[in-house]
Amino acid sequence: MLSDHAVSILIFAGIDVIMALSFFLPASAGQLSAGQGGFMALGAYTSAYLSVHHQTPFPLALAAGGLVGGLVGLAVGFPALRLRGLYLVLVTFGFGEMVRVLFLNAPAFGGPAGFAGIPPATTIWYVLGLLVVLVYFFTRVSGSRMGRAFAALRDDEAAAEAMGVNSTYVKLAAFAAGGVIAGLGGALYAHYTLYIDPEAFGVGRSLFVMLYAVFGGLASFWGAVAGATILSILPELLRWVKDWREILYGLLVLIMMLVRPQGLLDAAFLARLSARGERAAARG
């Protein structure tokens, strides 16, 4: 049996993987979002408010958190339709900060004092169950028509539109789905920490979510899974260096980005891995 500390590490790592996947989905369509912390906050506060003030069962509160994240993601997607690159990053960064300030000045949600008294509901099984569903979802999407449309938009939007891809629909779907996933991650986070405050979903949260996906590689959703898992557990593995832990953590990430700027799992590595798997299956 795992200790409570080990379970806690796995739960937080699982939530980080969920958040990395929420960034990867719009990124796979060429939409870089720096506002995932904002979507996470919406999911967290929605589920917490429903649970505390309306005694909503956790599965329904969890679903509501994802729904609110998705609807707001859809709304944010409209002004972002004509933006790419740095401009899109700045707009979504502004959205994330707007959400943080909104909750900071909302007495109904605790304001700067935060929101306490959230009933404990998140378990390792909820987190693992959602991860299994997401892995299945991404596996299906990656080989589907929508997945190919995402890749075409990421590589060359003009060429994708010339080939008949409806860029408006695809971009909005990517933003909305990314918002749903982030909202679910926020709801799980709130019902595990039992206390949330706006600062927990600030710019630092969004930047770490981006780092997880970029560190693992944007060639596949498995990169987001690998990056978030490694970078979430790494601080625990570095406890033995005590006060030097954060410095060593940053140094390791910096070296990795210098050595492999394409991330851990790039397209070439995934292609070799796939070829080996096919040869092994043929021999079997």
- In the structure encoding, which two tokens stand for residue 5, read together? 């500390």
How far apart, in whole angstroms, are the C-alpha atoms of residue 20 and residue 40?
A: 11
Which domain does 24 fall in, by range?
4-283
Rg, the chain, Cα only: 19
How far apart, in whole angstroms, are the C-alpha atoms of residue 3 and residue 152?
A: 45
How far apart, in whole angstroms, are the C-alpha atoms of residue 22 and residue 192?
A: 19
How far apart, in whole angstroms, are the C-alpha atoms of residue 181 and residue 16?
A: 11
Contact between 173 and 7 (Cβ < 8 Å): no
CATH number, domain with residue 107: 1.10.3470
* pTM beyond 0.85: yes
Q: What is the pLDDT of residue 57?
A: 96
Residues in the chain, how many?
Answer: 284
Q: Is 269 exposed, middle or buried (0-12, 13-18, 19+ CB in 10 A)?
A: middle
- How many other C-beta atoms can be found within 10 angstroms of the C-beta atom of residue 139? 13
Counted domains in the chain: 1
Burial of 182-194, coded b for 16+ CB within 10 Å and e otherwise, reads bbbbbbbbbbbbe
Q: What is the pLDDT of residues 41-64, one digit of tens each?
A: 999 999 999 999 999 999 999 999
How far apart, in whole angstroms, are the C-alpha atoms of residue 218 and residue 115?
A: 35
How far apart, in whole angstroms, are the C-alpha atoms of residue 44 and residue 258?
A: 35
Q: What is the pLDDT of residue 144?
A: 86
Long-range pairs, 225-230, Cβ under 8 A, ≥24: 225/17, 225/20, 225/21, 225/135, 226/264, 226/265, 227/20, 227/263, 227/264, 228/13, 228/16, 228/17, 228/19, 228/20, 229/13, 229/16, 229/17, 230/264
**Residues in the chain with pLDDT values less than 50:** none
Q: What is the pLDDT of residues 23-47, one digit of tens each?
A: 999 999 888 888 899 999 999 999 9
